[in-house]
Amino acid sequence: MIHCKNYKLMFENRIILEIEDMMFDKGKLHLFKGENGSGKSSFFRSLVGWIKPNNGEISISGSWTYQAQNFHLFSPKVKDNFEINEKIESWLNGLNLNGFYQFNISKLSGGERQKIALIRTLTQDTDIYLLDEPTSYMDESSKAIVYALIQEELLDKGKTVLLISHDNTDIPIKSGIQYRIINQKIQVEKTW
């Protein structure tokens, strides 16, 4: 569970985000939407402690993994990012990346890089996963596979997922809560 109280995040005297009291329950998908610069990424960064909010308390119960929007893949090869095993090989195959673990990172497309980064994130065994736009460069069919993977490997196993996405269509996840950041506030948009 994640709890934010009296939270305020500012950049250069401008309020980015304010939260009075908000809880994000465990074992659920929490989907965040909002315009560019609305503070979604900054909010994620502050949740994990990469940046400090100007005010308020954040408490996270459980271990976490955070995949930044501007992530870095370790080079030179894909296999430098995780230890290959049967499970990871099946993920790679599922994402149409058969045999890619031998590939040079510099040869990958934007979508392929995101798939590799996501697999690396999934290899971390934690309670909470914060994913900042993990599918922004992917085609629709790849997105569907990735969401199925998130459902199967994380949500079905009781993990909490916080996700930022700009996708207009509904994401194929069984249930979740969608938030929108408008006017420096987080509003619940829908639950399904």
Partner 1 sequence: MNEILQIVLNSIFICLTSTTIATLFGVPIGLIMGMSTKRWIIKIRPIISSLAGLPPVLAGITIFLLLSNAGPLGSYRLLYTHTAIISAQVLIVLPLIIASVYPLVLPIKSSFLETCYGLHISNVKQLKYLVNELRYGILAAILIGFGRAMAEVGAVMMVGGNIRYKTRVMTTAIVLETNQGNYKTALILGVFLLFISFGINFIVHSVFKEVNHDSL
Tell me: does residue 68 bind partner 1 (CB under 8 A). Answer: yes
User: What pairs with residue 68 in β-bridges?
Assistant: none
Number of helical (H) and strand (E) elements in the chain, helices listed first: 4, 9
> Which range, of 3-11, 65-73, 90-98, 154-162, touches partner 1 by CB under 8 A?
65-73
Tell me: does residue 11 bind partner 1 (CB under 8 A). Answer: no
> Which range, of 4-12, 45-53, 94-102, 158-166, touches partner 1 by CB under 8 A?
45-53
Cβ-Cβ contacts under 8 Å for 36 (sequence gap 6 or more): none
> Which range, of 28-36, 66-74, 94-102, 155-163, touches partner 1 by CB under 8 A?
66-74
How many chain residues interact with partner 1 (CB under 8 A)? 20
User: What track of x and - describes contact with partner 1 for positions 129 through 168 (by CB under 8 A)?
Assistant: -x--------------------------------------
**CB 71 to partner 1: min, Å:** 5
Cβ-Cβ contacts under 8 Å for 92 (sequence gap 6 or more): 98, 99, 100, 101, 119
Cα 71 from Cα 7, distance rounded (Å) = 26
**CB 72 to partner 1: min, Å:** 4
154 close to 129: Cβ distance less than 8 angstroms = yes
- Output the six-digit token pair for 47: 């949740």
Residue type, 28: K
Taking CB under 8 A as the criterion, the residue among 42, 46, 65, 142 binding partner 1 is 65
**CB 66 to partner 1: min, Å:** 3
Tell me: does residue 183 bind partner 1 (CB under 8 A). Answer: no
Cα dist from 44 to 69, 130, 182, 184, whole Å: 10, 7, 16, 14
Which run of H or of E encompasses 57? strand 55-60
Tell me: does residue 90 bind partner 1 (CB under 8 A). Answer: no
SS3 content of the chain, % helix, strand, coil (to 5): 30, 30, 40
Tell me: does residue 76 bind partner 1 (CB under 8 A). Answer: yes
Residues in the site for partner 1, rule: CB under 8 A? Answer: 45, 48, 50, 65-68, 70-72, 74-76, 80, 104, 106, 120-121, 124, 130
